[in-house]
């Protein structure tokens, strides 16, 4: 909450914390303090939805990363492992560059459909090849490469310079121009998905020693994995379709959270969600103002800010161990 408020004050137009409080309370119908219309618009129509979407993205991507790392026994798993981001980019490119069905779906809709198509194909391939965790990962790598190539091919063959730049910017992740309905969608998806994952936190713990141990602890391994993979895919596809593929958060923040609260998912998942939300709000705020008036793609910002932060944690952790 404090981070969201703090981040809103950053930006080319000056907005104070008092302004934010007044705008919020006015909208909740609790007060009727006069606020200048420009500031009102900046806070309510622009910065607040943007900060909340950033928080949802950070929370959701972190959550998905933590879940996938447990399910696939792989510390390098991230939300984009299963072809979701490259499928989304293919979908967006098909809409944005080729103009197929653009009026109905829009860039976001195309990305969402592309992400789910890619995820479905990856799961199908993984299932056909035996269904073990290594097969899921290999199928994901293959799917990711294939859809990335499709995207590049479509851009190379059909796009002009402007379209290319637009798609590239979107691919790197951007929270430009998010609206309240985006906030609502992201928020609901992340909350529902997060609650679901949290209910399964003991099952995620059971995966620590592999499928056989999980099975002997009474976890229906294949069903649990399939359902949770589906939940993470839906969350990720939603977030990607709204904000593009924001890297780093889903891969590294779960590790940061693990350093802080340990590996038990009942604590790890909420911690990852919280760290992810706060982290993204600040990275997005910094990305907005760092190179004014040109915004930095937030996906670039996450890695630029996040890697040094992660290195610090690693070094501190080494001294403790």
Partner 1 sequence: MTLHADRVRWNRGGALVVDGVTLTPRPGATVGLLGPNGSGKSSLLRLLSGTARPDDGTVTLDGTDLRALSRRSVARTVAVVGQHTHTDVDIRVRDVVRLGRIPHRGPLGSRPATDAAAVDAALAATGMTDKADRFWHSLSGGEQQRAHIARALAQEPRELLMDEPTNHLDIRHQLELLELVQRLPVTTVVALHDLNLAAAYCDEVVVMAAGRAVAAGPPAQVLTPELIGEVYGVRATVLVGEDGVPTVVLRPAAVSAPA
Under rule CB under 8 A, residue 220 binds partner 1: yes
Under rule CB under 8 A, residue 195 binds partner 1: no
Residue 246: name the closest of 46, 67, 55 by CA: 55
The residues, ordered by sequence, that sit 6+ positions from 251 with a Cβ below 8 Å of its Cβ are: 65, 76, 77, 78
Under rule CB under 8 A, residue 127 binds partner 1: no
User: Are 32 and 38 a contacting pair, CB within 8 Å?
Assistant: no
Task: Work out which of 38, 128, 195, 213 binds partner 1, going by CB under 8 A.
Answer: 213
Under rule CB under 8 A, residue 218 binds partner 1: yes
Please state, in angstroms and rounded to a whole number, the distance separating the CA atoms of residues 277 and 60: 8
Count of residues interacting with partner 1 (CB under 8 A): 22
Site stretch for partner 1 (CB under 8 A), options 54-62, 93-101, 136-144, 201-209: 201-209
Under rule CB under 8 A, residue 208 binds partner 1: yes
Residue 252 CA: distances (Å) to CA of 60, 62, 152, 195, 259:
13, 8, 27, 21, 11
DSSP state of 208: G
Shortest CB 309 distance to partner 1, Å: 19
- What phi, psi does 89 have (nearest 5°)? -65, -40
Please state, in angstroms and rounded to a whole number, the distance separating the CA atoms of residues 176 and 285: 11
Under rule CB under 8 A, residue 316 binds partner 1: no
Task: Work out which of 27, 128, 181, 209 binds partner 1, going by CB under 8 A.
Answer: 209
**Structure-token match 């199908």, residue found:** 124
Task: Work out which of 27, 181, 262, 316 binds partner 1, going by CB under 8 A.
Answer: 262
Site for partner 1 in 134-193 (CB under 8 A): none
- Which run of H or of E encompasses 29? none
Q: Which CB sits closer to partner 1, 22 or 205?
A: 205
Shortest CB 12 distance to partner 1, Å: 44
Task: Work out which of 227, 264, 304, 309 binds partner 1, going by CB under 8 A.
Answer: 264
Residue 78: name the closest of 304, 314, 312, 303 by CA: 303
Over the window 62 to 101, marking each residue x when it contacts partner 1 by CB under 8 A and - when it does not, the resulting string is: -----------xxx--------------------------
Structure tokens at 311: 């290195």
Binding residues (CB under 8 A) for partner 1: these are 73-75, 202-203, 205-206, 208-210, 212-213, 215-220, 258, 262-264
């Amino acid at each position: 909450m404090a981070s969201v408020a703090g981040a809103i004050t950053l930006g080319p137009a000056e907005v104070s914390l008092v302004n934010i409080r007044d705008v919020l309370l006015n909208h909740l119908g609790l007060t009727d303090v006069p606020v200048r219309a420009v500031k009102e618009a900046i806070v309510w129509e622009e910065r607040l939805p943007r900060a909340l979407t950033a928080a949802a993205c950070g929370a959701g991507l972190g959550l998905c990363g933590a879940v996938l790392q447990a399910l696939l026994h792989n510390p390098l798993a991230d939300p984009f492992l299963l072809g979701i981001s490259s499928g989304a980019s293919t979908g967006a490119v098909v809409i944005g560059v080729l103009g197929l069905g653009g009026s109905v779906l829009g860039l976001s809709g195309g990305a969402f459909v592309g992400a789910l198509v890619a995820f479905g194909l990856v799961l199908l391939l993984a299932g056909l090849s035996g269904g073990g965790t290594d097969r899921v990962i290999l199928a994901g790598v293959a799917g990711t490469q294939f859809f990335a190539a499709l995207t590049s091919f479509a851009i190379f063959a059909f796009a002009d310079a402007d379209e290319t730049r637009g798609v590239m910017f979107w691919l790197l992740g951007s929270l430009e121009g998010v609206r309240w309905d985006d906030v609502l969608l992201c928020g609901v998806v992340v909350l529902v998905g997060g609650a679901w994952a949290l209910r399964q936190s003991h099952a995620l713990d059971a995966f620590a020693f592999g499928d056989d141990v999980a099975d002997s602890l009474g976890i229906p391994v294949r069903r649990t994995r399939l359902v949770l993979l589906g939940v993470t895919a839906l969350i990720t596809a939603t977030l990607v379709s709204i904000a593009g593929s924001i890297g780093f958060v889903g891969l590294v923040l779960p590790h940061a959270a693990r350093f802080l609260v340990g590996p038990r998912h009942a604590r790890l998942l909420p911690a990852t969600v919280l760290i992810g939300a706060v982290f993204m709000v600040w990275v997005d705020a910094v990305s907005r103002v760092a190179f004014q008036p040109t915004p930095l793609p937030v996906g670039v910002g996450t890695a630029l800010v996040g890697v040094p932060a992660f290195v610090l944690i690693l070094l501190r952790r080494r001294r403790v161990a």
